Amino acid sequence: MGTIQAAWEDEENNRRVDLTVDYQITAGQVELQQVTPHQVHFFCPESGEATRSIGVHTETGKQLLLDRALAAGVAEKVRHHLAESDIHDVRHAPDTIHDPAEMPTVTI
């Protein structure tokens, strides 16, 4: 199983939602195991500058953002990105800790 950081650009609401995506590649097919919203960045509609950022801590908030992201087609875009990239299924020891800065990122 792998993990990537993704960002959903919700231009309609002037925000970007940062997501953590757990996935698995089985028989050449990308399977998304879990998509979790964890941060929301709000932008000024006139300047495009970030005005504030908040963490997503409640299950209700995570589910609301996830439902909207999925309705916007995030799952298919992430699957496509993973299928087209050089990311592959590498087995690691269960206690391996990866530096989040080294994870691939995708903005959709």
Q: Would the pLDDT of 88 be above 80?
A: no
**For residues 92 and 88, what is the distance between their CA atoms, to the nearest angstrom?**
12
Q: Which helix (H) or strand (E) holds 65?
A: helix 59-71
> What pTM did the predictor assign?
0.77
Q: How far is CA 21 from CA 2, 30, 73, 90, in A?
A: 8, 12, 14, 16
Averaged pLDDT, 60-81: 94
DSSP state at residue 13: G
Residues 95, 100: Cα–Cα separation, whole Å? 15
pLDDT in tens, 2-58: 889 999 999 999 999 999 999 998 887 889 999 999 999 999 999 999 999 999 999
Which residue's entry shows tokens 């439902």? 67
Cα 108 from Cα 69, distance rounded (Å): 10
